[in-house]
Amino acid sequence: MFLIAIINLLILTGQIHNTASSPCSEVKIVNHILKWGQETTNRPRKIEAIIIHSSYNALTPDSFSLDGVLREYKAAGVTPHYIIDRQGVIYRLAPDENIAYQAGKSRLPDGHTDVNARSIGIEIINTTHDSPTEAQYVSLAKLVKCLKSEYPVKYVLGHSDIAPGRKTDPWNFDWKKFDGLLKQN
Ligand SMILES: [Zn+2]
C-alpha cells in the first residue's frame, strides 16, 4: 500500500510518466537485423553496460555510407546492436537479447571481461577527423534513455574506456554535451 501511495504521488507530481510518454516512445528505430556478428543466448542476459563506438567506411569515397560500414562489419564478422547514421536515423542491427560482437577484448570498471555478454553496443557513423552531428547526439541520447529505462544499466562508456590502448573510439565525442542531453526531459 505504501509503495502504491508513493508511486501515485510520483505520477501526480510528474516524476514518473505513464507509458504513453515513456522514454522509449520517443525513439524511432528502423529494424535492419543482420545475419552475422551476433548469437542468441539460452537464458535472458543481464544488460549492465552501454558501449558507444564510432565507425566509418574506409573502402569508398563516402566515409559515411551505411552500406559501406555494414560491408566492413560483414567482412569482420562483427556488429553493434544499433548504428546511428549522420542524419540521426537509428538502425537496429541485432536484437537486444542477442550477444553482439562489438566490444572485443575489453574490461568493465567492475573487472568483468565478458563485455559482449553484458552490454549493448551503439555505433555512431563518424570518422577520426569529423565530429558526430547534432542529430546523432539527439538520437543517441534518446536511445540511451530508453535502454536505461529497460535494463539495469550501470555504465555508459566509450569503447576506448573499456579497451584503452587498443581502441580510441568514439572519436571526437563530446561527453559533456551528451550528458546534458541525457539529463533533459
Ligand atoms: Zn569501437
d(CA 120, CA 124): 13
The parent domain of residue 117 ranges over 27-183
Q: Find the mean pLDDT for residues 93-117.
A: 98
Q: How far does the centroid of ligand 1 lie from the alpha carbon of residue 56, in Å?
A: 11
Backbone angles phi, psi at 122, to 5 degrees: -125, 125
Q: What is the pLDDT of residue 6?
A: 55
Of residues 88, 89, 152, the one with CA closest to residue 120:
152
Look up the pTM and report it. Answer: 0.88
Q: How far does the centroid of ligand 1 lie from the alpha carbon of residue 23, in Å?
A: 25
CATH number at residue 169: 3.40.80.10
Overall domain count for the chain: 1
Q: How far does the centroid of ligand 1 lie from the alpha carbon of residue 167, in Å?
A: 7
Residue 133 lies in a domain: yes
Q: Find the mean pLDDT for residues 70-93.
A: 98
Q: Model confidence at 105, in pLDDT bands (50, 70, 90)?
A: very high
Across the chain, mean pLDDT equals 92
185 contacts: CB under 8 Å, gap ≥ 6:
none
Q: How far does the centroid of ligand 1 lie from the alpha carbon of residue 21, in Å?
A: 32
Residue 13 lies in a domain: no
Residue 85 lies in a domain: yes
Residue 32 lies in a domain: yes
Residue 139 lies in a domain: yes
Q: How far does the centroid of ligand 1 lie from the alpha carbon of residue 54, in Å?
A: 6
Q: pLDDT at residue 124 above 90?
A: yes
Q: What is the pLDDT of residue 60?
A: 80
Residue 11 lies in a domain: no
Please confirm, yes or no, whether 123 is among the known catalytic residues.
Answer: yes
Which residue among 26, 72, 97, 123 is the active-site one? Answer: 123
Of residues 157, 137, 144, the one with CA closest to residue 52:
157
Q: For 160-173, what is each residue's pLDDT tens digit?
A: 999 999 999 999 99
Residue 3 lies in a domain: no
Q: Strands 99-100 and 49-55, how do they pair? A: unpaired
Residue 16 lies in a domain: no
